[in-house]
Structure 1
Amino acid sequence: MKKLIVLPMALILITAFSCKQAKKEAEEASEEVEEMVDEMKSTITLTKLEGSPAYSDAELVLNSPENTTIAESGAVDFNFAVNNYELGAQTESENATMLANSGKGQHIHFILNNQPYSAHYEPTFAKELPDGVHHLVAFLSRSYHESVKNENSVVVKKMEIGADPQDTQGLDMEAPTLIYSRPKGEYAGKDTENLMLDFFVLNTTLSADGNKVKATINGEEFMIDEWAPHVIKGLPMGEVTIQLELIDGEGNAIDGPFNKVTRTVTLKP
């Protein structure tokens, strides 16, 4: 009779111990997963890019169209003058070997309505413009796509196309404005190791106590308080989501149709 009583009790104790052990192991595994996730997040870093030639006297001027009010939509011929800067030349910097670099050399980033830029290696080209009010921002770019940042390296124009163009964006061209530039498109192989984050700001400055750019990269936030290019490291393969937002010194969003933008890029082995 004693054996019949002791055996179930032993089974109960063993079962209870096993359940407790299993629970402990599950909790430990959960903690390990959380730590792995945190480690994966923490591998993303954002650091200021340095070492690029300044080109402080480089200049971009829009010669035509002289009249940015155009009666009909379609192909518009653009003619820029470029001074103290050579389109098509390779930028002499170690950054050209570290970052994705264009074999065609230095160029113009042509951005309409804060959409992804088109790169132009000659100062004259045509662009198809539909009816409506469009906001053009064009600036000089190094061969590895870093913008030249001075008051003369950029052209900002409002273009009115068509018989009755409607302004659906409502951009105040005198207000603080954020223009997205890089990263863009697809990266493969060595180019996935260092992605450049670059943007243009208009009518404002960035500082530790003032306006900033909040960069959210795959859900991880970084604050940028200096108008400078940065390098993103530690990104996983696949689709990467990047959001830039112009904020004030209190962390509040600054109104403007272009001041919050989200882009995705793809990284391939």
Structure 2
Amino acid sequence: MRISPTYLLLFSGILFFFSCIDEKNNQATNETEEEEIVSPITVTDSVKEFRISEIEFSCESPLLYTVNKKSENEYVFSQNKKNTEFHSFFSINNGSLSEITHQMPFILQQGNNVVLAFSCLPNGVSCKNKNSYFLKNYILGEDLGLFNEKQEHLFYYLPKDTVYAENVLLDFYLLNTVLNKNGNKVRATIDGMEFLIEKWATYNIEGLEEGIHTIRLELIDSEGNLIPGPFNDSGERKFVVLKKST
């Protein structure tokens, strides 16, 4: 059977047309694959991870100083025992801490002056026993009676000021209360993250980045309510973390 040249020409044209379409589709597919391969993946968010771990220590040092009155509004710390292995610090109304030295004076302000002094190890860890601290409210002026020494109290201690990343201690002082799983706790909020502390101890905060950080300590009951007391909510405090010391 003879095939007309016209039909052959038409059939060839159809084959050529479909082959061009297929080649174009393959080219588009290859270009898409190449674009997917070279597309960059950018990670913009970093996860901040840190944890709190208890520091094991033994500290039985009694407070090495007594307080003596010098005038109506001035008192002094007098050293009554010598022990070069321990340091002592004090604060008034849970304000800035100062290291105690022999015959060191402190001046009272009008109203309540709640003086807390306690012994510490050389690394800053506070000694936590009944013989290691001194607490007294000195009232200047009218008898305000706003501070009850027998109530449950939390005093903020560490961290403060500037610290190195490998030595960020969390420490506080408790009076007339104990912490446990089913009772009172200390709620620590660090950079917005909450931790519930069920044991009075010194803790190490690991994994904090360099820069400014915030911390808040609160003494709470078993239901999470703040226990009344002038210092049981430390408020938000700031401290600066530096890179590891060399």
TM-score category (smaller protein): 0.7 to 0.9
Residue correspondence of structure 1 range 220-231 to structure 2 within 5 A: 220-231=193-204
Q: Residue 17 of structure 1 aligns with which residue?
A: none
Q: Deviations over 1:211-242 (max 9, x none)?
A: 00000001011110000000001112111101
Q: Could you give the per-residue CA deviations for residues 41-78 of structure 1, whole angstroms, max 9, x where no partner exists?
A: xx11111111x2x233x2226533259xx63x3x4322
- 1:88-99 matched pairs, under 5 angstroms: 89=85
Q: Where do residues 26-175 of structure 1 align in structure 2 (5 Å cutoff)?
A: 36=45, 39-40=47-48, 43-50=49-56, 52=57, 54-56=58-60, 58-60=61-63, 63-65=66-68, 71=72, 73=73, 75-82=74-81, 86-87=83-84, 89=85, 106-120=86-100, 122-161=101-140, 164-165=141-142, 167=144, 170-175=146-151
Query: Counterparts of 2:108 and 2:173 in 1: how far apart (Å)?
Result: 22
The alignment partner of 1:130 has SS state of coil
- 1:267 to partner: Cα distance: 1.7
Question: What CA distance in whole angstroms lies between the structure 2 residues aligned with 1:79 and 1:228?
Answer: 28
Q: 2:161 aligned to 185, 188, 197, which one? A: 185
Structure 2: gaps (5+ residues)? 1-40
Matches within 5 A, 1:231-242: 231-242=204-215
Per-residue deviation, residues 99-123 of structure 1 (Å, max 9, x unmatched): xxxxxxx311101101121112x34
Query: Which portions of structure 1, spanning 4 or more consecutive aligned residues, are displaced by more than 4 angstroms?
Result: none
Q: Report the CA distance between 1:80 and its aligned residue.
A: 4.1
Please tell me the residue identity of whatever aligns with 2:55: L
| The structure with more radius of gyration | 2
2:7 match: none
Q: Structure 1 unaligned segments of length 5 or more: list them.
A: 1-27, 90-105
1:106-152 deviation line (CA, Å, top 9, x unaligned): 311101101121112x3431123323220011000111111011101
Counterpart contact for 1:215–1:221, Cα < 8 Å: yes
Taking structure 2 as the reference length, what is the TM-score of the superposition? Answer: 0.74
Mapped to 1, the partners of 2:103 and 2:178 lie a distance apart of: 31
Find the residue that maps to 1:78 and give its secondary structure. strand
CA contact (8 A) 1:133 1:165 kept: no
The residue that corresponds to 2:240 in the other structure is 266
- SS of aligned partner of 1:251: coil
**Structure 2: how far apart are the matches of 1:147 and 1:176?**
19
Counterpart in 2 of 1:251? 224
After superposition, the C-alpha distances for 1:152-186 in whole angstroms (9 at most, x for unaligned) are 1010111123xx2464x922211110011111111
Residues 64 and 119 of structure 2 are in contact (CA less than 8 Å); yes or no, is this contact kept in structure 1?
A: no
Match of 1:202 in 2: 175
Q: TM-score, normalised by structure 1?
A: 0.69
Q: C-alpha root-mean-square deviation of aligned residues, in Å?
A: 2.4
Q: Cα offset for 1:207?
A: 0.5
SS of equivalent to 1:126: strand
SS at match of 1:109: strand
Q: How many residues matched?
A: 203
